[in-house]
Amino acid sequence: MDISNSGHVVLGMLFVGSRSGYEIRKSAELSLRHFWSISPPQIYTELGKLEEAGLVEGSDDHQGNRRRRLFTVTPAGREALHRWVLDEGDSDFEMRDLLQVKLFFADVLEPDEVPVLLEQIRARSRRILRKFELEVSPAARKTVERHGAAFPPRVADLHVELHQYLLSWCDRVEQEYRHGSD
């Protein structure tokens, strides 16, 4: 079976401890969305494909009046995830950031407007750092405690360091810009 990147992401989220489509969605919103997007329809479609291929096993679970399906990764699923993680196939780096696109075209701005845009980038990074401090990093550390998954907190640290760098980069660019436009 040919598994899409989204299918591998769903498989990986199950591997690190999510059990249902809802848990995958909630966990992905907290962690993966900072560098990969996956929609609820994709999650449920991929779960069906993975189950059909024997890479996950599903079982019905009832909590009160709510019905849900819980999934576990099979040995074949673990092997498929293992192969995908090591695969050297096409993996271009893509970071979609509308504020960076706007900064790319900042030459259209008046000199006193450029610092406003740089402050928008800094403000966003400060918001993200706060979210990581309060929600994302603690949740990532829990994956170590609950499921032994050691890399979610490391990737969270990568994003913390990235936004710390963006803050200092914006300060430097603004300072260089102010001295260059005088």
pLDDT of residue 182: 53
Backbone angles phi, psi at 60, to 5 degrees: -80, 140
Contact 40, 25 (CB under 8 A): yes
DSSP H or E run through 123: helix 114-131
69 in Cβ contact with 59 (< 8 Å): yes
Domain that holds residue 144: 95-182
* Look-up of token digits 């992401």: 9
- CB atoms under 10 Å from CB of 49, counted, come to 18
pTM of the full structure: 0.81
Q: What is the pLDDT of residue 20?
A: 94
Pull the structure tokens for residue 95.
Answer: 């970071």
Mean model confidence pLDDT for the chain: 92
The CA radius of gyration of the chain, in Å to the nearest whole number, is: 21
My answer on whether 62 and 106 are in the same domain is no
- The arithmetic mean of pLDDT across residues 94-122, rounded, is 93
For the record, the structure tokens of 4 come out as 């899409």
Out of 61, 94, 127, pick the residue that ends a domain.
94
In this structure, the answer to whether residues 70 and 85 fall within a common structural domain is yes
Instruction: Count other C-beta atoms under 10 Å from residue 52's C-beta.
Output: 10
pLDDT value at position 62? 78
Highest-pLDDT range among 66-70, 86-90, 151-155, 176-180? 151-155
Beta strands in 14-84 (DSSP E): 56-63, 66-73
Q: Is the pLDDT of residue 71 over 90?
A: yes
Q: Do residue 39 and residue 8 come from a single domain?
A: yes
The answer to whether residues 19 and 58 belong to one domain is: yes
Cβ neighbours of 143 (radius 10 Å): 20
In the chain, what percentage of residues exceed pLDDT 90? 75
Other CB atoms closer than 10 Å to residue 152's CB: what's the count?
23
pLDDT at 93 over 90: no
2 with 86, same domain: the answer is yes
> For residues 71 and 67, what is the distance between their CA atoms, to the nearest angstrom?
13
Tally the residues of the chain.
182
Structure confidence at residue 89 as a pLDDT band (50, 70, 90): confident
Q: Where residue 37 sits, what CATH number does that domain have?
A: 1.10.10.10
Nearest to 121 by CA among 133, 108, 103, 109: 103
Q: Which of 94, 118, 144 represents a domain boundary (last residue)?
A: 94
